[in-house]
């Protein structure tokens, strides 16, 4: 297993099925905080749900279609980043993130997403990386901006949540833009 340092005593590691108990405990701390911003299938309510989510990502990772990575701060899982979708044949991926309140404000998501983008756009040679978020999720939009992504459009009334519909922003960065930014 690898572990990459981020900052503030934080590490990025693969989040795997054997982390189910830790992931379930993390979801207990994060659930209501992240529920409006992430897909309902990700927000688990118990240990079995945590195992199911981790298994789903492990199965998709095994066929090179997704990836799930936890962010540990001071040995506590506080959030993570993911390849929501990874399509090597198309040269494209979508990244996403989530954090419990204790993980916010330390630059952890930006640092972790930079790691994913560098690997996808440099090591794997993908052409573009995408980021999607609710338009009213200003923290998520700010991460996309810090990563150098361009807002490519807004899908109106796309995201259903608690009987209302919200606009969804679509952000992206091309490999050439990423390389220029990293130079």
Residue 7 confidence (pLDDT):
81
Q: Phi-psi region for residue 132, left (φ > 0), alpha (ψ -120 to 50) or beta?
A: beta
Query: In the numeric block, which tokens belong to residue 172?
Result: 């992206």
Beta bridge partners of 169: 133, 154
Class of the domain covering 4-182 = alpha beta
Residue 1 confidence (pLDDT):
60
pLDDT digits (tens, 9 = 90+) for 4-33: 999 879 999 999 999 999 999 999 999 999
Coil vs helix vs strand at 29: helix
pLDDT digits (tens, 9 = 90+) for 141-154: 999 999 999 999 99
Residue 2 confidence (pLDDT):
81
Q: Which residues of the chain have pLDDT under 70?
A: 1
Query: In the numeric block, which tokens belong to residue 170?
Result: 């679509």
Going by the DSSP 8-state scheme, the letter that residue 83 receives in this structure is E
Domain boundaries of the chain, sorted by first residue: 4-182
Q: Is the pTM of this model over 0.75?
A: yes
Tally of CB atoms within 10 A around 175: 18
Nearest to 6 by CA among 68, 95, 94, 78: 78
Contact between residue 95 and residue 109 where contact means Cβ atoms under 8 Å apart: no
126: CB partners within 8 A, 6+ apart: 88, 91, 92, 93, 120, 175
């Amino acid at each position: 297993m690898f572990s990459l340092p981020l900052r503030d005593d934080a590490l990025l590691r693969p989040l795997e099925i054997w982390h189910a108990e830790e992931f379930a405990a993390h979801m207990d701390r994060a659930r209501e905080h992240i529920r409006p911003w992430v897909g309902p299938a990700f927000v688990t309510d118990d240990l079995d749900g945590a195992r199911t989510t981790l298994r789903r990502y492990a199965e998709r990772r095994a066929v090179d279609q997704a990836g799930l990575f936890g962010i540990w701060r001071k040995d506590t899982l506080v959030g993570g980043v993911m390849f929501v979708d990874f399509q090597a044949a198309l040269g494209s991926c979508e990244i996403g993130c989530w954090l419990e309140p204790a993980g916010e404000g330390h630059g952890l998501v930006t640092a972790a997403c930079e790691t994913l983008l560098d690997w996808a756009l440099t090591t794997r040679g993908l052409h573009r990386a995408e980021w999607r978020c609710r338009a009213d999720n200003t923290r998520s939009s700010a991460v996309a901006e810090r990563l150098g992504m361009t807002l490519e459009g807004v899908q109106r009334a796309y995201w259903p949540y608690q009987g209302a519909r919200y606009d969804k922003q679509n952000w992206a960065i091309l490999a050439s833009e990423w390389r220029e930014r990293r130079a």
